[in-house]
Structure formats: structure tokens, C-alpha cells
Amino acid sequence: MASPWTLASPFALIALCLGACAEVGPPCEPPDPAPVIGVDDAGRFLADGVPVVPRLVNSYPLLDHAGWERWGAITEILRTARELGRPLVRTGAYMIGGTNPARLRDEDGALREEGLVALDRVLAMAADEGVQLLLITANHWPDYGGAPAVLRAVAPGETLPASAFYGDPRAIAHQRAFLDTLARRVNTVNGRRYADDPTLVAWELVNEARCDDDEWCDPGVLPAWAREMARALRDAGVTQPIAWGGQGFLGDHGEDLRRLAEVEALDVLTLHLYPDLAGASIVEPGAGHDRVSAAVVSGGDAIRAAAAVARDAGKALLVEEAGWRASGPRRDEERAVVLGAWARIGAAEGVGFGPWMIAERDRPDYDGYLIRPESDAATARVLRCE
């Protein structure tokens, strides 16, 4: 049976959004979900023992702001998440190298107490604002140092490829030690131990892992690495769920979600959706309605496929990054159609959904995906209501 989205004209799609998404009539009151506190054996997120579909949103610069003491920007982001009815923010805790005072490790890999105290404060601020965090503990990409900086720290002068992060024994030992430090840390602001702080919904092992180098990679490398890192967290006493963090490939770039689903220590599988980017499920450029319809269909297919993998393995799934780069005078409505459709498909599958991304009000839109609720009325309404 054809999807109804494939039959809709561009004007019908936009009209649907204008009627259902835009700020007309009584305002949508977003739900105020109970804090997510775990994952059951069937792969369902739980809040107060009841299965829930997490409502999350991405905002990576929280620790960056903390380093420069932009506390007001952090408060603004956390409150925006709550106002959108998405009081679960996915953010990074892996900064290595550079000049930001909140970096957690120096260029040589040495831990920095000043950076850890900044992270303490971010966690404490989130708790005070009634927001939970999904904490990313490594990044495949060089942003904020990432895997390349770790490799430079453990193997100076060797110019290793990023894929070596997942196989070099020195990098593995370094990352294990970093996770152990974070998990055992007691927050200097509120006295909570990271390993059982309810502000942390889950620990994410790595953002968008890839293993493409023939010398370092085979299909077993990423599952083995995930198993090792998850073991490090559990050995340190972590009680929260452990999430993967990959894009959800089914064999490309060294990532096979089906093999990762077999890693017993992983509780949460992940999917990232950017149908307009190379390396994702690509939507060819064309008329606006062709792009919108194709994005909805391809994204929906990807969500259902990943949900089936997770369900078969008894794992939870998060569509933890989802972005759509629209343009033109109806860009807000177009993005609302795409994100709203994906959110509804995710909810029907019992899958949490997190758009990319929100930030402080005056932040530049570097990549075309920034959501500004104060001006993107249709998109904001969808995120509140779906």
C-alpha cells in the first residue's frame, strides 16, 4: 500500500502543516513528562515504572558555554527545551585540547579538574531546571577534539586515522580511564555521583562512530569497542542505561546496527536522520514537494527498519538526531511537515525522537538546521505537540 505521503501534493503538505502546526487557535500545551529512569527488558524506556517515549532535543554547546561562563546561555537552552515539552537534552562531555577552560582533557590527554567542575555545574543547572541530559562521552569527528585528539594524545607523531580510535590499545585504555573517571566522579556542586545521578538519562559511548580504514577495521571492531566501553562504565558502577550513538547504518562505514544490537551491555540503539546529506539516505534535489515527500518516506522507512532491529533484540531505540534543511519562504512549514511526520512515525514505533538542534537566541545558524522557536512557529508547534 502506498504511503499517503507519497500521494500528497506540496500544497497539501504545506496546508496540512499550516492547519495543524502553525500557531493558530489555542496554543498547544506540551506534555510535562515524568523523568526517564531506565529501560526494561523489552527495550522500553520507563518513567516511574511506566513505559514512555522520550521527548528529546539536541544542544551540543552547553559545556562550551560553561567554559566561558556564559551561564545565561545555558539557562536559556535548558528552559527552551522545557518549553518545547522536550526536557531531555543530548549534549557533549568529551572536550579534549583547545583553549576552552571547560576542556576535560589537555592535548596530552591529562584530565583537567577545572573542566570537570564546569561539567559538574552544567549537570547541576540541568537538575535545577528540571531537565535531564543524555551525555555523549566521545566524538568520532574532530569537533571539540574528538577521536583525532585522543589519538594525538596517546600516539604523538604517529598520524593515525580516526578509525584507530576503536582498535589501538592505547586509545582504548585511555578512553576506558576517562569513562571510569566520569562515572566515579562526585559532583562538586550538588554532591551527586555521576554513576547514579537521575539527571543523566543515559551514557552515550560515541557520536557517529565509523570504521573505514582497511588496516584497522572489520565488521567486529565497533561491536567489540562498544562492549569494552560499556564494561568500563558498568565496572565503575553506572546504573543508568548505556546508549550507542552511531548513525544506525546497516553495514556501511563499519557500522552494522544488527551486530551492535547483539552487544548485551548496550541498552539503547541509535539512529541519525539527515536525508539531504551525503552519507545518509539521500534525497535527490528537485521540486520542493518531491523533496518533502521523499524525505518523509525515506526517513519513515529508516525509523521502522531500525525499530525492528531494536525490537528483535529487546533494545530501546532513539532517533536522537534528525534534521531537515529547508529553504525559501515556506522553510518553517516545510521543516515542520518533515520533522512532524518523523516524530509521529517514531511515536507509533515507541521510539524517542530528537531534532537537531536548539541553542541560545543569538547563535548563528552554521549548518542550516538550527531551530529558533521564537521565529520558527510551525516547527516549534510540531515539536511541542508531537
The 3-class secondary structure across 317-367, one letter per residue, is: EEEEEECCCCCCCCHHHHHHHHHHHHHHHHHHCCCEEEECCCCCCCCCCCC
How many whole angstroms separate alpha carbon 163 and alpha carbon 215?
Answer: 9
The reported pLDDT for the residue numbered 22 is: 44
The reported pLDDT for the residue numbered 5 is: 37
Beta strands in the chain, from DSSP E residues, in sequence order: 38-39, 45-47, 50-52, 57-58, 88-92, 132-136, 200-204, 242-243, 268-273, 316-322, 352-355
Using the predicted structure, report yes or no on whether residue 68 has a pLDDT greater than 60.
Answer: yes
Using the predicted structure, report yes or no on whether residue 6 has a pLDDT greater than 60.
Answer: no
pLDDT in tens, 232-286: 999 999 999 999 999 999 999 999 999 999 999 999 999 999 987 743 343 444 5
Residue that has been written with the C-alpha cell 500557531 in this structure: 23
How many whole angstroms separate alpha carbon 381 and alpha carbon 33?
Answer: 17
Q: pLDDT-derived band of residue 27, with 50, 70 and 90 as boundaries?
A: low
Cell reading at 75: 539557562
Are the beta carbons of 99 and 144 closer than 8 angstroms? Answer: no
Residue that has been written with the C-alpha cell 578512553 in this structure: 175
The reported pLDDT for the residue numbered 31 is: 67
Using the predicted structure, report yes or no on whether residue 72 has a pLDDT greater than 80.
Answer: yes
Residues in the chain: 386
The reported pLDDT for the residue numbered 112 is: 98
CATH number for the domain whose boundaries are 61-266:
3.20.20.80
Nearest alpha carbon to residue 269 among 234, 230, 235: 230
According to DSSP, residue 35 is labeled: P
pLDDT in tens, 103-130: 999 999 999 999 999 999 999 999 999 9
Say whether 125 sits in a helix, a strand or coil: helix
**Cα separation values, 64 from 95, 99, 114, Å:** 9, 10, 13
pLDDT in tens, 309-366: 999 999 999 999 999 998 889 999 999 999 999 999 999 999 999 999 999 999 999 9
Q: pLDDT-derived band of residue 289, with 50, 70 and 90 as boundaries?
A: low
β-pairing, 45-47 vs 38-39, is: antiparallel
Are the beta carbons of 316 and 268 closer than 8 angstroms? Answer: yes
Contacts of 203 (CB under 8 A, 6+ apart): 135, 137, 179, 183, 233, 238, 240, 241, 242, 243
Q: Where in the chain is the domain with CATH 3.20.20.80?
A: 61-266
Q: How far is CA 193 from the centre of its chain?
A: 23
The reported pLDDT for the residue numbered 3 is: 39
Say whether 139 sits in a helix, a strand or coil: strand
- Half-sphere exposure in the Cβ direction for 372 (13 Å, CA): 13
**Whole-prediction pTM:** 0.92
Say whether 74 sits in a helix, a strand or coil: helix
The reported pLDDT for the residue numbered 34 is: 75
